[in-house]
């Protein structure tokens, strides 16, 4: 009896070992729960936003027309000035000396002309009496003409020196606001060196930069009243603006093109920041999907399309025209009526079995989910 049991144990051990070494079957892939939407077409009008700065239509860099040492500056950054107001003053001692020298030369030229005029009258009387020849009188006439020319030259030189002395005072040519200060008292400046920058009162522009692919669209808006709109920082109000200038060349550093939009009489202040909005014409027949519906596969944009009969998903390459808020505009790859996965795309593989998100929720939570979805809409 004991011998029989031993034999049974001996024969059963290899069977158990073989059973333990047998390869286990792989567990079936779980059915993923996904959320889907049915594709429908509609119309869209894409809006492009650009950061803009409010600047004066005319902004001048003011400097002296003569060289000298800056003696004083009467304005500072942000000051409001009126037309004709003194902005800065040079040390004009040398200029005044030059003016006095020119006046002295003018007086000498006037005296010389008076003298040669008197000589000419005397020699003319002598010629009428026959005491001198015609050649001598001609020489005196030439001397008068030379002296008169020298007087004209002295007058012009005196006028130039007077202007030079006046150029030692820098005055505002128009009313405006000082937006920059480029020189300090005690500094020696050459002619034309900017001392202050003045933004003139008057029209204001919104200045912004656009990339190369948007320049053509902005050029089409040139001169169209209200073709673009401006939203000031911290304000929800949109102000109409008109594109009045598009740069012909790109900035050498940023490779963007500068655009200026006229704001008319809008109540804006210099230096304010704003968002300039350019709205494209509405296009019908476009498809909009949530951002979560679009994924990337092998360098292409794809969406996962649901096969309702087999309840499987497959990747479908699409052409994306751009983003608009939390949605993307799809121009090709899918059609109205297709059902696209919008949640759970990161775990999907081609041919994977899926089920509706609502089906994966416990029965008691379906009503709460429906209520939450209605509230979100």
Chain segment 264-287, per-residue pLDDT in tens: 878 888 888 888 888 876 666 677
Query: pLDDT tens digits for 148-190?
Result: 999 999 999 999 988 888 899 999 999 999 999 999 999 999 9
CA 257 to chain centroid: 8
When pLDDT is averaged across residues 319-341 and rounded to a whole number, the result is 76
Could you write out the DSSP letters of every residue in 340-370? EEEE-GGG--TT-BEEETTTTS-HHHHHHHH
Q: Is the pLDDT of residue 197 over 70?
A: yes
pLDDT band at 376 (very low <50, low <70, confident <90, very high): very low
Domains, the chain, ordered by start = 32-45+283-361 (2.40.420.20), 48-56+201-279 (2.40.30.170), 63-91+173-199 (2.40.50.100), 93-166 (1.10.287)
Question: Backbone phi, then psi, for 20, in 5-degree steps?
Answer: -70, -30
Q: Is the pLDDT of residue 377 over 60?
A: no
Mark out the alpha helices in the chain (DSSP H runs).
Answer: 2-21, 93-128, 134-166, 215-220, 363-376
Distances (CA, A) of 154 to 13, 100, 120, 168: 133, 12, 22, 22
When pLDDT is averaged across residues 349-375 and rounded to a whole number, the result is 51
Pairing of strands 194-200, 176-181: antiparallel
Q: Is the pLDDT of residue 246 over 70?
A: yes
**Cβ-Cβ contacts under 8 Å for 181 (sequence gap 6 or more):** 73, 75, 76, 77, 195, 196, 197
pLDDT for 366 equals: 39
Q: Are 344 and 356 in contact (CB under 8 A)?
A: no
Query: pLDDT tens digits for 43-65?
Result: 566 678 899 999 998 899 999 99
9 vs 82 pLDDT, higher one: 82
**From CA 334, how far away is CA 344, in angstroms rounded?**
19
Q: Which residues pair with 181 in a beta bridge?
A: 196
24 vs 355 pLDDT, higher one: 355
Q: How many Cα atoms sit within 13 Å of 153 on the Cβ side?
A: 10
């Amino acid at each position: 009896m004991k011998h029989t049991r031993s034999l049974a144990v001996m024969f059963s051990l290899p069977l158990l070992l073989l059973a333990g070494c047998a390869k286990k079957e792989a567990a079936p892939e779980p059915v993923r729960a996904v959320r889907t939407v049915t594709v429908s077409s509609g119309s869209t009008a894409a809006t492009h936003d650009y950061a803009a700065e409010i600047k004066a239509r005319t902004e001048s860099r003011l400097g002296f027309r003569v060289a000298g040492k800056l003696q004083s500056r009467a304005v500072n950054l942000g000051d409001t000035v009126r037309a004709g107001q003194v902005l800065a003053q040079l040390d004009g001692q040398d200029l005044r000396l030059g003016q006095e020298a020119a006046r002295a030369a003018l007086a000498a030229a006037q005296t010389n002309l008076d003298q040669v005029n008197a000589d000419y009258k005397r020699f003319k009387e002598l010629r009428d009496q026959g005491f001198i020849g015609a050649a001598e009188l001609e020489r005196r006439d030439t001397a008068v003409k030379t002296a008169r020319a020298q007087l004209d030259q002295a007058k012009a030189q005196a006028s130039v020196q007077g202007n030079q002395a006046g150029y030692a005072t820098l005055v505002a040519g128009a009313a405006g606001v000082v937006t920059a200060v480029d020189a300090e008292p005690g500094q020696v400046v050459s002619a034309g060196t900017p001392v202050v920058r003045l933004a003139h009162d008057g029209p204001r522009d919104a200045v912004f930069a656009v990339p190369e692919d948007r320049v053509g669209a902005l050029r089409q808006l040139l001169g169209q009243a209200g073709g673009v709109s401006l939203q000031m920082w911290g304000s929800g109000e949109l102000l109409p603006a008109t594109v009045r200038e598009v740069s012909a060349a790109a900035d050498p550093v940023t490779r963007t093109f500068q655009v200026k939009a006229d704001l008319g009489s809008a109540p804006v202040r210099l230096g304010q920041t704003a968002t300039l909005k350019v709205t494209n014409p509405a296009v019908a027949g476009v498809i909009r999907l949530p951002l979560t519906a679009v994924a990337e596969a092998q360098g292409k944009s794809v969406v996962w399309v649901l096969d309702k009969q087999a309840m499987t998903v497959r990747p479908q390459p699409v052409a994306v025209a751009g983003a608009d808020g939390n949605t993307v505009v799809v121009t090709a790859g899918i059609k109205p009526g297709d059902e696209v996965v919008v949640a759970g795309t990161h775990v999907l593989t081609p041919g994977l079995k899926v089920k509706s998100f609502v089906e994966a929720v416990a029965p008691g939570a379906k009503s709460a989910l429906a209520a939450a979805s209605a509230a979100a809409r």
